[in-house]
Chain A
Amino acid sequence: MSDFKISRRGILRGTAMVGAGLAMPTILTRRAWAAGYVNEPTGGTVTLGFNVPQTGAYAEEGADELRAYQLAVEHLNGEGDGGMLGTFSSKALKGNGINGKKVQFVTGDTQTKSDAARASAKRMIEKDGAVMITGGSSSGVAVAVQGLCQDAGVIFMAGLTHSNDTTGKDKRANGFRHFFNTEMTGAALGPVLKNAYGTDRKAYHLTADYTWGWSQEDSIKKYTESMGWETVAAVRTPLGAGDFSQYITPVLNSGADVLVLNHYGRDMVNSLTQAVQFGLKDKQVNGKEFAIVVPLYSRLMAQGAGDAVKGILGSTNWHWSLQDEGSQAFVKSFGQKYGFPPSQAAHTCYVQTLLYADACQRAGTFMPSEVGKALEGFDFDGLGNGPTLYRAADHQCFKDVLVVRGKENPTSKFDLLEVVEVTPRAQIEYDPAMLGGELGPYNNGA
């Protein structure tokens, strides 16, 4: 019993210390947050946070995104050949950093997990003083990090994220997306599928089981069913499954004659390769050629899947073979630095960095609400996708969408996709209210 008394006194003493301890750091920290907005850059530099997957199913995309970010920082600071700064319709950026401050960056690994991505983004905001977070490659992660940036009061420039939810149901005022979404993919791909495979088809979906997969599946169903296709089944597969054979075997006996692979990254490489190995591509079902569709395509994935991509249709945000001035300038400076052409992930991340920098320059500040207003309703050109609008109602970019097909006779190991059709912007525009969600007010943090 006697020992209990001692510990009680210990607790009392401890409580006093807790009180003292609690009071002191608050005095210290209050002053740190007294600026006009979170992480207001006061010195000669400004820090951006690049939060990309370096491990996991989307690591390839993440690595390419990081390359693009580093290139963008070089160009903003006036190093290298300037890339798309020369072709960008806005001439606010002068190659001397942003608002006269040299651009620095910090990087982090999202591990394609919401928890890790948020921890990494928090580190950038709380420790490294990042004034903007950008990155992506998984919509689940993008949505989670976007929410965090809204709460913390910094701008989030989404990288590769294709789910409708990012600028739909889960949109936030502090978040902006240049990449297209599954609704646009559906609208662009629908007519092409109709021309290629007719109106009487039975589709079987394999879907990555998270926000992007669900969104993709819904959009494709919506557009294919409206033109007369029937959806036989839609099976959810876990992200990063590796082996898809157990999901592909049932397709053979389902009576379906189209397989839609709502997969991305390494998942798509694996599922497509296995589907082709199972002989699906050469099969005849219901008297028709069996077809495989990969709604979201990228050159990196095509490279991974090799011969399996030949003749397969899909959509993409951008492709390095585009002949416009902006794309060519970007491919040239990326190629000079790294020795191979950039992927669509690299492109969207590079563009997002430039767009952010330009908006800060035009606003004359890094304050999220002002930067956001500079981006809202911003019309620009020369960044590889033709005339583009940053829509104010949902912070989503609207531009032409590319429908591509895997090349039958590639001339090099990068020349794997050919552009079948450029779907004009007017055809893929939709009402912002359709996807729900609310932007809410800007948050400057302080």
Chain B
Amino acid sequence: MGNQAMNKSDLILLGAFVLVVLFAPQLFAPIGAGYPDLLQKFAIYGIFALGFNILFGLTGYLSFGHAAFLGVGSYSAVWCFKLLSMNPLPALVFAILFGGLFAAAIGFISLRRTGIYFSILTLAFAQMSYNLAYSVLTPITNGETGLQLAQSDPRLIDMMFGRDYGAVLPPSDLFGIEMTGYSGYYFCAVLLIVCFFLSLRIFRSPFGLMLRGLKSNQNRMAYTGLNIRPYALSAFIISGMYAGLAGGLLAITDPLAGAERMQWTASGEVVLMTILGGAGTLLGPVIGATFIKYFENIFSAFNDGILNQVFDFLPDTAREIMVSISSLFVGEGWNLTLGALFMLIVIFLPGGLIEGVKRIRTSVGKLFRGGGGDGKSPKSAPAE
């Protein structure tokens, strides 16, 4: 299968990924995104999208309910903080476990159908979970206000080791390292790298090949004597565990869990992230997640004052016109910009941002070598 060559390029990919993730605070600083909270969001939603991509990118099952697993992960992590310990490790274990269990239950039922019916089923389950969390299960989820820590929480394991947090609400800490700010980011970053590595291994494994087979032709797979349900279900559970992990990390960097994390808009967001970056590619989902979170946090903060500064070089009347036009697309209008960009990308680059990068690379390659590539032109979603 030409494994050796493949592995070398994978290794380069992984190495570059690790470098970018570790030096993200410095790399993102020039565009105003090098502060811990946003970097944490990049890493966490990167993990979420990576997991979603294992399901959608490989098997082609479009789940519209992945936010449910994110929410379950958050709730289990916060409950673990409240009942057991402020250490993030048990919280993560519970978040992944419950994310996986929940995915197994929903996947078991939803995977009886394919295509649009599957999407609708997952959407229905996610909305049910959202409404349950919002009202019926208020004793567990604290409804709209969201589940928060309290000074009076038992924290049994912490008590056993005689840890007293005093009168303040404790932040989550890994044996003394607080999970806020940059240390919180690096905690998420290490997990993002692990998740990326796992996703790479899955993509390259025979199991990954089976999942791709599911996408291209289910009937053919079935006729060769394979039972396809277990494959689809395991992909669903794995991506549910990724989502649970992401939800747990959200709670670890900021100990709060709200029902709105499970709303259908949140499920739609991860679909957008994956498609925007490039479904079925390794890096695409992470890039898409970064892109969307950047828009949500940076573009939404532009106000008329900042725009006036940007267009300062123009004469007064021209500046006012430019400000009034562009203010429609920033600040509260950031969704509009994102929507327009999404349309453009889906129409002109159906393979997402990754396809854009590849196109640039091939045209640059053509320029220098006069056509052709160097034999390892990227093809991460080939019809093998």
Interface residues of A (CB under 8 A from B): 2-3, 6-7, 10-11, 13-14, 17-18, 21-22, 25-26, 29, 54-55, 59, 105-109, 113-116, 118-120, 122-123, 126-127, 140, 143-144, 147-148, 150-151, 209-211, 236, 238-239, 438, 440-441, 443
A147 proximity list for chain B (CB < 8 A): 148, 169, 256
Q: With A10-B15, A438-B151 known to touch, is A123 a contact of B297 (CB < 8 Å)?
A: yes
Q: Tell me if B301 and A123 are in contact (CB < 8 A).
A: yes
Q: Tell me if B331 and A438 are in contact (CB < 8 A).
A: no
With an 8 A cutoff between CB atoms, is B224 at the interface?
no
CB distance from A392 to the nearest CB of B (A): 17
A59 proximity list for chain B (CB < 8 A): 332
Q: How far is B25's CA from A22's CA once the two chains are assembled, in angstroms?
A: 11
CB distance from A248 to the nearest CB of B (A): 18
B134 proximity list for chain A (CB < 8 A): 209, 238
With an 8 A cutoff between CB atoms, is B193 at the interface?
yes
Q: Tell me if B182 and A441 are in contact (CB < 8 A).
A: no
Q: Tell me if B169 and A150 are in contact (CB < 8 A).
A: yes
Q: Tell me if A441 and B167 are in contact (CB < 8 A).
A: yes
CB distance from A140 to the nearest CB of B (A): 5
Q: Tell me if A21 and B22 are in contact (CB < 8 A).
A: yes
Q: Tell me if B332 and A210 are in contact (CB < 8 A).
A: no
User: Which chain A residue lies CB-closest to B134?
Assistant: A238
Q: Tell me if A127 and B146 are in contact (CB < 8 A).
A: no
Q: Tell me if A54 and B135 are in contact (CB < 8 A).
A: no
With an 8 A cutoff between CB atoms, is B145 at the interface?
yes
With an 8 A cutoff between CB atoms, is B227 at the interface?
no
With an 8 A cutoff between CB atoms, is B320 at the interface?
no
Q: With A210-B143, A238-B135, A441-B168 known to touch, is A106 a contact of B301 (CB < 8 Å)?
A: yes
User: Which chain B residue lies CB-closest to A125?
Assistant: B37
B144 proximity list for chain A (CB < 8 A): 140, 209-211, 238-239
With an 8 A cutoff between CB atoms, is B317 at the interface?
no
Q: Tell me if A151 and B301 are in contact (CB < 8 A).
A: no
Q: Tell me if B332 and A54 are in contact (CB < 8 A).
A: yes
Q: Flag the segment in B3-11, B109-117, B211-219, B367-375 that touches A.
A: B3-11
Among B98-143, those with CB < 8 Å from A are 134-135, 143
B26 proximity list for chain A (CB < 8 A): 25
User: Which chain B residue lies CB-closest to A126?
Assistant: B35
With an 8 A cutoff between CB atoms, is B171 at the interface?
yes
Q: How far is B15's CA from A54's CA once the two chains are assembled, in angstroms?
A: 41
B32 proximity list for chain A (CB < 8 A): 127
Q: With A6-B11, A115-B260, A209-B143 known to touch, is A438 a contact of B167 (CB < 8 Å)?
A: yes
Sample of 6 further A-B pairs with CB below 8 A, known A236-B135, A238-B134: A54-B300, A106-B303, A114-B256, A114-B260, A127-B34, A209-B144
With an 8 A cutoff between CB atoms, is B155 at the interface?
no
CB distance from A331 to the nearest CB of B (A): 23
A25 proximity list for chain B (CB < 8 A): 25-26, 182, 186
Q: Tell me if B37 and A123 are in contact (CB < 8 A).
A: yes
User: Which chain A residue lies CB-closest to B19?
Assistant: A17
With an 8 A cutoff between CB atoms, is B210 at the interface?
no
Which residue of A29, A106, A126, A209 has the most chain B CB atoms within 10 A of its CB atom?
A: A126
Q: How far is B180's CA from A148's CA once the two chains are assembled, in angstroms?
A: 11
Instruction: State which of B145, B171, B332 has its C-beta within 8 Å of the C-beta of A140.
Output: B145
A18 proximity list for chain B (CB < 8 A): 18, 22, 186, 190, 193
Q: Tell me if A126 and B36 are in contact (CB < 8 A).
A: yes
Q: How far is B188's CA from A6's CA once the two chains are assembled, in angstroms?
A: 25
With an 8 A cutoff between CB atoms, is B289 at the interface?
no
Q: How far is B23's CA from A27's CA once the two chains are assembled, in angstroms?
A: 14
User: Which chain A residue lies CB-closest to B39?
Assistant: A126
Q: How far is B134's CA from A113's CA once the two chains are assembled, in angstroms?
A: 13
Q: Tell me if A6 and B169 are in contact (CB < 8 A).
A: no
B148 proximity list for chain A (CB < 8 A): 144, 147
Q: Tell me if B18 and A14 are in contact (CB < 8 A).
A: yes
With an 8 A cutoff between CB atoms, is B339 at the interface?
no
CB distance from A111 to the nearest CB of B (A): 9
Q: How far is B254's CA from A148's CA once the two chains are assembled, in angstroms?
A: 9
With an 8 A cutoff between CB atoms, is B308 at the interface?
no
Q: How far is B145's CA from A239's CA once the two chains are assembled, in angstroms?
A: 11
With an 8 A cutoff between CB atoms, is B261 at the interface?
yes
- Nearest 6 CB-CB pairings of A with B: A210-B144, A21-B22, A122-B37, A54-B332, A127-B35, A126-B35
User: Which chain A residue lies CB-closest to B253?
Assistant: A122
User: Which chain B residue lies CB-closest to A50?
Assistant: B303
B335 proximity list for chain A (CB < 8 A): 55
Q: With A114-B256, A209-B134 known to touch, is A21 a contact of B301 (CB < 8 Å)?
A: no
A sample of 28 cross-chain residue pairs with beta-carbon separation below 8 angstroms, ordered by A number, consists of A3-B3, A7-B197, A11-B197, A13-B15, A17-B19, A17-B22, A54-B332, A59-B332, A106-B301, A107-B301, A107-B303, A113-B258, A118-B254, A123-B37, A126-B37, A126-B181, A127-B35, A140-B144, A144-B145, A144-B256, A144-B258, A147-B256, A148-B254, A151-B171, A209-B134, A209-B135, A211-B144, A236-B135
A122 proximity list for chain B (CB < 8 A): 35-37, 254
Which residue of B37, B134, B144, B193 has the most chain A CB atoms within 10 A of its CB atom?
A: B144
CB distance from A295 to the nearest CB of B (A): 19
B181 proximity list for chain A (CB < 8 A): 29, 126
With an 8 A cutoff between CB atoms, is B349 at the interface?
no
Instruction: State which of B4, B35, B300 has its C-beta within 8 Å of the C-beta of A109.
Output: B300
With an 8 A cutoff between CB atoms, is B14 at the interface?
yes
Q: Tell me if A7 and B143 are in contact (CB < 8 A).
A: no
Q: Tell me if B36 and A6 are in contact (CB < 8 A).
A: no
CB distance from A141 to the nearest CB of B (A): 10
Q: How far is B296's CA from A122's CA once the two chains are assembled, in angstroms?
A: 13
With an 8 A cutoff between CB atoms, is B362 at the interface?
no
Instruction: State which of A55, A114, A119 has its C-beta within 8 Å of the C-beta of B332.
Output: A55
Q: How far is B194's CA from A18's CA once the two chains are assembled, in angstroms?
A: 12
With an 8 A cutoff between CB atoms, is B78 at the interface?
no
Q: Tell me if A26 and B182 are in contact (CB < 8 A).
A: yes
Q: Tell me if A109 and B332 are in contact (CB < 8 A).
A: yes
CB distance from B253 to the nearest CB of A (A): 10
B82 proximity list for chain A (CB < 8 A): none
B146 proximity list for chain A (CB < 8 A): 114, 140, 144
CB distance from B260 to the nearest CB of A (A): 5
Q: How far is B269's CA from A115's CA once the two chains are assembled, in angstroms?
A: 15
Instruction: State which of B3, B34, B258, B300 has its C-beta within 8 Å of the C-beta of A115.
Output: B258
CB distance from A70 to the nearest CB of B (A): 9
